[in-house]
Structure 1
Amino acid sequence: MMSPLGIVLAGAGMAAGVVAGAPIALAAGIGALAWGGRVAAAIPRDSTERVQPERLSEPWRGYAQGAQNAKQRFDQVVADVSPGPLRDRLLRLSARLDDGIGESWRIARRGHDIVAAIGKIDTQSAAAELHELRRSGAVDTPAGAQTAKALEAQLASAERLVALADRSRDRLRLLDARFDELIARTVEVSVGTGDSAGLGEDVDELVNELESLRVAMEETAQAGGESTPAAGV
């Protein structure tokens, strides 16, 4: 609320109102609206979205479920640690891992949506029609050339989506395995033979990588002008 940017925006809004000839009270109101908009944008979004792996197709369902199961095992290990500084630190890491579970769910749901979108593109018919246009020479006519261009664009869209789904699946599989690796590290820490600081860094790194993957999936699809409908999820 007291961020420098918020204060600057409030001042800029008030100054703009004064320059425009608005009364001081109105100008102050403009400044307050600018400040309020900045504060609202800075408020974290609701992260309590319900994770429902059963609504996804494979392999996305398995990845989301695997992350959930790993988190449950993590919490079981933490529950067995005696109250004290170590347990408090592990509880904070548990809360951070909740962010990772949310990202894993969003990635899996996005992957499910992409695969569903691919299924709606009739690549077989498009490829057959394009082949026939080229075979018959119709592609050399203005109408045929336009048709061929549309068919090629359709096939290119499908190829981009397939590539995106494959890359995302492989990356999520690796990150899902990292969840299990963290459990073994947590067991070591819980009995005093592991590095809790290092574990915290690994948890942060995993969550950050999951977030980066989710953002990359969204940006790649948007850059390609793709639309991946929610497919009922």
Structure 2
Amino acid sequence: MAKALMTWVPVGVGVAVAMLVAGLGWPVAVGAGIAIGAGLTVANLPRRPRRPRIDPFTIGEPWRQHVQAAQRSAAQLHRTVREMRDGPLRERMTSIANRLDDGLDETWRIARRGNELDAAVKRMDPTALSLRLNTLEQRSQTEPSADVASALASVESQIEATERLKVRAGRTEDRLRLTQTRYDELVVRATEVTLGADTDDYAHAVDDLVVELEGMRLALDEVTEADS
């Protein structure tokens, strides 16, 4: 904010000088310069990124339930904060609750990635691949040929890729389940903080969870890009 202020102060000064040269009184010129400089400063302050629209019903299970559970935890924390008396502690807790919302956003992004992994596995049709593999294995015994061997290798490669996707989705789902336990713990701890527990420790715990979720999502993004 200080950088933005210093950037637009000269503009306000310039406007004031120009108005003085034009013959306007100094109170009017100075007032206009301050108003314009302040307006430009506010307009150019960095804005918080718009949050994604979260709709759990656009993804399948088990991903939907993880998003819904995270939504419930975030909503409960905000309710706890709203019930607090006005003051510095409530302001601090509001900031922490907003930070947990970042974790909810990451949970949503991770769940969508997981849903995409499941969809990719479904498109590859493991059952059909398994049947195709059995057929080709039989043909390789009765009618061995280069074409059959090539087709067999291709199907085996597709099955291996499918298994990797399944494992990746499973590990992601397991980690999301563990993070939900931490969501629940943070909601309970919020009550302790409202009664005088250390807000710094609580803020660090929230931030640790969000950073972990961000790391999970980035890792999934990198793997997805590598596979594409």
TM-score by length of 1: 0.73
Deviation at 1:140, TM superposition (A): 4.7
Contact kept in structure 2, 1:63 and 1:176, CA below 8 Å:
yes
Task: Measure, in 2, the Cα distance between the counterparts of 1:179 and 1:148.
Answer: 47
**Is 1:222 the equivalent of 2:210?**
no
Cα distance in 2 between the residues matched to 1:167 and 1:45: 31
Higher helix share: 2
CA distance in 2, matches of 1:45, 1:67: 21
Give yes or no for contact 1:70–1:179 (8 Å, CA) kept in 2. Answer: yes
1:75 corresponding residue in structure 2: 78
Question: Is 1:56 matched up with 2:45?
Answer: no
**CA–CA distance in 1 between the matches of 2:220 and 2:144?**
37
1:94-173 map, 5 Å = 94-137=97-140, 140-173=144-177
Q: Which structure's CA Rg is the greater one?
A: 2
Query: Equivalents in 2 of 1:48, 1:109: separation in Å?
Result: 15
| Number of aligned residues | 184
Q: Partners in 2 of 1:201 and 1:58 — Cα distance?
A: 31
Q: CA deviation at 1:150?
A: 1.2
Structure 1 SS opposite 2:107 = helix
1:187 to 184, 191, 203: 191
Is the CA contact 2:139–2:148 (under 8 Å) kept in the aligned structure 1? no
Contact 1:106-1:214 at 8 Å conserved across structures: yes
| Root-mean-square deviation over aligned CA pairs | 2.1
Residue by residue, what CA displacement relative to the aligned partner does 1:201-227 show, whole Å, maximum 9, x if unpaired? 00000000111111122222333x25x
- Checking the alignment, whether the CA contact within 8 Å between 1:161 and 1:221 is kept in structure 2 is no
The residue type equivalent to 1:114 in the other structure is: L
Sort the Cα spacing of 1:45 and 1:84 in 2 relative to 1 into closer, same or farther, 3 A.
Answer: closer
Q: Which runs of 4+ in 1 moved over 4 A?
A: none
